[in-house]
């Protein structure tokens, strides 16, 4: 069986021009997954650098347990081995972190030093189902973070495991999976959906701009009935275009 064509670096840069809801709108038209329950964060997350816009990259996966001092004793080489793993994966990369202390927050893996180190290794940010700290310094490093909260200390933030499936904010994420994230949350794109993702997102955005949005913004000077009729006609045109392209009705 032929593997699906992966999104290229150039296509990632194009996807980065759009917010995550726009990418989702395209993805839901091409996926066989349940677009109402799968592949996007179920639990709430906070984008602590919304001014940086969206981030797109391949998942680097990591499990931590900052409240447990045993891990650093069990594997004193964990930091070196983990950094070699990060460096071995082509960028851009997003570090997806599962915190085993959840629901407690006992320490942060992320801060000024770790953000700069990961940036040097081709990572653009993190999705951390735990905490971050040194917020201003992370911003200065150009390292974007979606996380549960801020905290003061790092505790025993040694690595438990890396390069395996993790769960963050209710989503299972595999190493190398394409991630699109911004202030709305994140989408973990299944590999089979990558080849058509950019095309689908661009089409659905244009479909909105060609139908419903201009109809809604042309309401000035019209009666309520005229406005409603224009919106109904635009919705029908939106559905027709979506049906012709994807054999699906679309949102409207």
The CATH code of the domain that includes 44 is 3.50.30.40
The dihedrals phi and psi of 127, each to the nearest 5 degrees, come to -120, 110
Calculate mean pLDDT across residues 176-199.
97
Residue positions counted in the chain: 252
Calculate mean pLDDT across residues 27-38.
94
Question: Does 23 share its domain with 87?
Answer: yes
DSSP code at position 151: -
Please tell me the predicted confidence (pLDDT) of residue 205.
Answer: 96
Please tell me the predicted confidence (pLDDT) of residue 66.
Answer: 87
Tell me the DSSP string of 69-90. THHHHH-TTHHHHHHHHHHHS-
In a domain, 202, yes or no: no
Please tell me the predicted confidence (pLDDT) of residue 85.
Answer: 97
Please tell me the predicted confidence (pLDDT) of residue 251.
Answer: 76
Calculate mean pLDDT across residues 241-248.
91
d(CA 252, CA 204): 11
Please tell me the predicted confidence (pLDDT) of residue 71.
Answer: 77
pLDDT at 252 over 80: no
d(CA 211, CA 230): 9
Q: Which residues pair with 181 in a beta bridge?
A: 55, 186
Question: Does 135 share its domain with 241?
Answer: no
Question: Does 188 share its domain with 237?
Answer: no
Q: Give the domain range for residue 223.
A: 211-246
Residue 4: pLDDT band with limits 50, 70, 90 = confident
Give the number of domains in the chain.
2
Question: Does 97 share its domain with 23?
Answer: yes
Please tell me the predicted confidence (pLDDT) of residue 3.
Answer: 61
Question: Does 21 share its domain with 142?
Answer: yes
DSSP code at position 172: E
pLDDT at 233 over 60: yes
pLDDT at 149 over 80: yes
In a domain, 71, yes or no: yes
Please tell me the predicted confidence (pLDDT) of residue 5.
Answer: 83
Please tell me the predicted confidence (pLDDT) of residue 1.
Answer: 40
d(CA 168, CA 60): 12
Query: Do residues 123 and 86 make contact, with C-beta atoms less than 8 angstroms apart?
Result: yes
Please tell me the predicted confidence (pLDDT) of residue 68.
Answer: 86
Query: Do residues 68 and 30 make contact, with C-beta atoms less than 8 angstroms apart?
Result: no
In a domain, 3, yes or no: no
Closest CA to 114 of 82, 71, 149: 82
Calculate mean pLDDT across residues 190-206.
97
Question: Does 236 share its domain with 138?
Answer: no
In a domain, 106, yes or no: yes
Work out the mean pLDDT of the chain and round it to a whole number: 94
Please tell me the predicted confidence (pLDDT) of residue 188.
Answer: 98
In a domain, 56, yes or no: yes
Please tell me the predicted confidence (pLDDT) of residue 157.
Answer: 80
User: Model confidence over 43-96: pLDDT tens digits?
Assistant: 999 999 999 999 999 999 999 998 888 877 888 898 999 999 999 999 899 999
How many beta carbons lie within 10 A of that of residue 4, not counting itself? 13
């Amino acid at each position: 069986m032929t593997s699906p064509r992966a999104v290229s670096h150039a296509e990632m840069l194009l996807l980065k021009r759009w917010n995550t809801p726009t990418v989702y709108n395209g993805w839901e038209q091409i996926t066989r997954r349940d677009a109402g329950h799968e592949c996007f964060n179920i639990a709430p997350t906070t984008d602590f650098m919304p001014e940086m816009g969206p981030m797109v990259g391949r998942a680097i996966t990591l499990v931590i347990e900052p409240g447990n001092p045993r891990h650093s004793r069990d594997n004193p080489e964990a930091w070196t081995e983990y950094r070699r793993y990060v460096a071995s994966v082509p960028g851009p990369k997003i570090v997806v972190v599962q915190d085993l202390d959840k629901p407690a927050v006992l320490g942060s893996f992320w801060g000024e030093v770790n953000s700069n180190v990961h940036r040097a290794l081709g990572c653009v940010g993190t999705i951390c189902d735990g905490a971050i700290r040194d917020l201003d310094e992370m911003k200065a490093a150009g390292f974007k973070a979606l996380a549960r909260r801020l905290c003061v200390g790092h505790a025993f933030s040694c690595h438990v495991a890396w390069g395996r499936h993790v769960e963050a904010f209710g989503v299972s994420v595999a190493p190398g999976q394409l991630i699109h994230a911004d202030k709305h949350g994140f989408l973990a794109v299944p590999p089979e959906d990558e080849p058509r993702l950019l095309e689908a997102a661009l089409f659905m955005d244009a479909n909105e701009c060609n139908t419903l949005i201009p109809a809604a913004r042309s309401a000035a000077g019209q009666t309520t009935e005229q406005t409603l009729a224009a919106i109904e006609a635009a919705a029908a045109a939106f559905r027709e275009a979506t049906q012709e392209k994807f054999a699906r009705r679309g949102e409207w």
